[in-house]
Amino acid sequence: MRVLVTGGAGFLGQALCRGLLAQGHTVLSTQRRRSAALDAMGIEQRLGDLADAAQVMRALDGVEAVFHNAAKAGHWGSEQSYVDANVTGTANVLAACRAQGIRHLVYTSTPSVAHNGRAPCEGGNEIDTPYAPAFKAPYPRTKQIAEKAVLAANGTPVAGGGVLATVALRPRLIWGPGDTNLLPRLVERARAGRLRFIAGGHNRMDTSFVDNAADAHLRAFAALEPGSACAGKAYFISNGEPQPVREIVNGLLVAAGEPRVEASVPFAVAYAAGALCEVLWHTLPLQGEPPMTRFVAEQLATPHWYDLSAAKRDFGYAPQVSVAEGLQRLARWWREPR
């Protein structure tokens, strides 16, 4: 099958591309800039901006299925930039699927669409954990809008006959070999002495080893058909091994050959600092991301881990790589010359 991955040059995107190639699919990718890594895989790249409907239509030409993985992530940026990438981009992908007669769409969402501030989620499932009613950052707000649009598109007619089948996966905090974002930033902050836990970092959270996150997408794709158990639904995805934040962070740092971090600040201090940073970054010409926001403070201080039973039941997902094994793989990759 000819399968297109949006954002195929990214961290999870490359893992999806590798997995699809291993299954014998013809894989294409669309993103803004050419990727040497995708060139090395022999993947056709159709460069463009998802916010441009015409470019998306061209990118999806001749495609039979789509993994819509591209998004603007992070905790800082203009509202419009998130709307363009996550809301408009997703609407354009859905429209192109319908116009091009594409019948399968796997969407990469996030648990943040259901993260309700300081309300803990411990063992929550997709039924008992509703969408959050409000957000303090544009990323989860726009991802929620996009996820709802993807699920609402399930069962809609496509050109040439038949209907579009959709599914949304919500992997939590993806990490592993190939990470050029999370681990490098943790290492940089730790070396600069700027890394602190919030309220001790004792709250438990889920994470997802990158190969497990990719495997969940591939399994959902294999099961996705009109009327199938997973069609039109969203699923939490993780390693199923919730750990305290301090153990997650220190596990990653140790894998990178760095010392453990123990310093902590109270939640009230971190939240106030985040609020102040937001004001300063909005009103002054400060560059880059602020070191703290209210959204990040709540994310790092609130327990949130999930029940994976629905993903196991509906498309056979079970984590294949444990956290311990994943950290060993990460350590080996980090030591490799680059």
170 backbone dihedrals φ, ψ, rounded to 5°: -120, 75
Q: Identify the pLDDT of residue 128.
A: 92
What pLDDT is attached to residue 284? 84
Contact between 195 and 189 (Cβ < 8 Å): yes
Question: Measured between alpha carbons, how far is residue 30 from residues 27, 55, 62, 156, 171 in Å?
Answer: 10, 10, 13, 24, 21
Residue that the structure tokens 């040059």 belong to: 9
pLDDT at position 180: 87
Q: How far is CA 281 from the centre of its chain?
A: 25
Residue numbers of the chain with a pLDDT score lower than 70: none
Instruction: Tell me the C-alpha distance between 274 and 107, whole Å.
Output: 31
Cβ-based neighbour number of residue 326 at 10 Å: 25
pLDDT on residue 160: 93
Rounded to two decimals, the pTM is: 0.96
Count of residues making up the chain: 338
Q: What is the tens place of the pLDDT at every residue in 46-99?
A: 999 999 999 999 999 999 999 999 999 988 888 999 999 999 999 999 999 999
pLDDT at 321: 98
- Between 323-335 and 245-255, two packed helices, what is the crossing angle to 10 degrees? 30
Task: Look at residues 252, 281, 235 and name the one whose alpha carbon lies nearest to residue 76.
Answer: 281
Active-site residue set: 139
pLDDT in tens, 235-261: 999 999 999 999 999 999 999 999 999
pLDDT of the residue at 31: 96
